[in-house]
Structure 1
Amino acid sequence: MDVILLQKVANVGNIGERVTVRSGFGRNYLLPQGKATLATPENIARFE
């Protein structure tokens, strides 16, 4: 699962980075807590 980080996450990456994480980690931790957003074409363009 590709996500764009909205906050610094230890051992994952920094703000604005596009990273690949396991689906469960993304769905159950990063997305619900607002630490990341899905790496859709619209979001990628917004963060470039």
Structure 2
Amino acid sequence: MELILLQKVRNLGNLGDKVTVKPGYGRNFLLPQGKAVRVNAANLEAFEQ
């Protein structure tokens, strides 16, 4: 699962990094806590600005 980090996550990356994680980690931890968003055209464009 590819995600864009919204904040620094220890042992994973910093704000704005595009990372690949296991689906369970992304779905159960990063996405619900607001630490990341899914990679899609709209999110990539928003982060490039």
TM-score (norm 2): 0.94
| Aligned residues: CA RMSD | 0.5
Report the number of matched residues. 48
Equivalent residue runs for 1:6-25 within 5 Å: 6-25=6-25
| 1:47 matches 2:47 | yes
Write the distance in 1 (CA, Å) between the matches of 2:31 and 2:22.
Answer: 12
Q: TM-score, normalised by structure 1?
A: 0.95
Consecutive unaligned residues of structure 2, counting only runs of 5 or more, are none
Q: Percent identity?
A: 58
Shift >6 Å, 4+ stretches:
none
